[in-house]
Amino acid sequence: MTDKTAPLSRELMASRILLRAVLPVARVVVEDDPKMNAAFKGVTAGFQIRARNGSGMLGAGLRVNDGRMEWTDGIMADPDICFTFKTPAAMNAFLTGGIALPRIKGLTRPALLSKFIRLLLSLKLLMPDNRPSRPDRVRLKIKLVMYMITTALSQYNKAGDPDMAKWTGMQPDRIYQMSCEPEGIAAYLRVKAGKSKAGRGYYKRKLPFVHMKFNGAENALPVFLNEVEFVEAISKGYVAVEGSPEYAAKLNDFMQRIQALIT
């Protein structure tokens, strides 16, 4: 686990979450979506999205090596495709479905550019108003959201949100686990004395302090779409909470704040 940074502005906090929590799940789309997997089969290339921030740049990217994708933090040396925005606000707008046009490097490689644009568009599945109907898409949405939100919670803490910094600062080593069965989807947030770290799968070294157990992807969907309040979801059996209900409710509150920040 790493130390938090000094508090960021709301705009830069949104940029941090979009670049470090939303963009990384593009890899999951490529791995789990057959059409997207086929599109990147055999591809070796680098994609960068960045924005001018004062005299510097902030950004992140995706590097593909023979179809295998990895997320990279920071500015890449020589990406094949690069989207550059004039401000973090413009980049945030673009990544959340708004209208903002970047300067594009890679127009001479339209086939490759098209693949990365399609991949970015696929991340709209994360949006709270995007309701998939096919079971495989429902499962993918739950997986993407669960992976994204646990990472976003950690980034929100590291970005210096005062309320979350206070909340994590008074806690010993604790695991906040989320899972969705029988689909086998799981992710967690670990906090300790103000520090935080997110992970995928089940944390195995100790029992969770709070475990949110979603009763299948179809029942998790209305919760992540904000169609039911968290307390109502518990009463309907969509999700069961093991551990402290007060801390689970507070964690859910931070999730709602993050959603408001990036949508």
| pLDDT tens for each residue of the chain, 263 residues long | 544 456 678 899 999 999 999 999 999 999 999 999 999 999 999 999 999 998 899 999 999 999 999 999 999 999 999 999 999 999 999 999 888 999 999 999 999 999 999 999 999 999 989 999 999 999 999 999 999 999 999 999 999 999 999 999 999 999 999 999 999 999 999 999 999 999 999 999 999 999 999 999 999 999 999 999 988 999 999 999 999 989 998 999 999 999 999 98
pLDDT at 1: 58
- Under a CB-based contact definition with an 8 Å cutoff, are residues 140 and 37 in contact? no
Residue 2 lies in a domain: no
In the structure encoding, which two tokens stand for residue 233, read together? 């979801």
Q: Does residue 4 form part of some domain?
A: no
The verdict on 112 and 227 lying in the same domain is: no
Tokens of 144: 């993407």
Question: Of 126, 158, 183, which one is at a domain's C-terminal end?
Answer: 126
> Do 224 and 255 fall within a single domain?
yes
Q: How many domains does the chain have?
A: 2
pLDDT at 99: 85
Give yes or no: residues 165 and 233 share one domain.
Answer: yes
pLDDT score recorded for residue 258:
95
- Bridge-partner residues for 104, per DSSP? 83
Same domain, 145 and 172: yes
What pLDDT does 127 receive? 92
* Helix %, strand %, coil % of the chain (to 5): 45, 25, 30
Domain match, 201 and 223 both: yes
Q: Are residues 142 and 210 part of one domain?
A: yes
CATH classification of the domain holding 115: 3.30.1050.10
Q: Output the pTM of the full model.
A: 0.93
**What does the angle CA 89 – CA 131 – CA 47 come to, to the nearest 5 degrees?**
45
Cis ω before 128 (30° cut-off from 0): no
Q: Are residues 140 and 258 in the same domain?
A: yes
Query: The domain containing residue 67 runs over which residues?
Result: 10-126
Residue 107 lies in a domain: yes
Q: In what order do the strands lie in the sheet with 210-215?
A: 195-200, 185-192, 174-181, 210-215, 239-243
Residues 189, 241, single domain; the answer is yes
Please report the pLDDT score of residue 2 as a whole number. Answer: 46
Could you give the CA distance from residue 160 to residue 166 in angstroms, rounded to a whole number? 10
How far apart are alpha carbons 222 and 232 in whole angstroms? 11
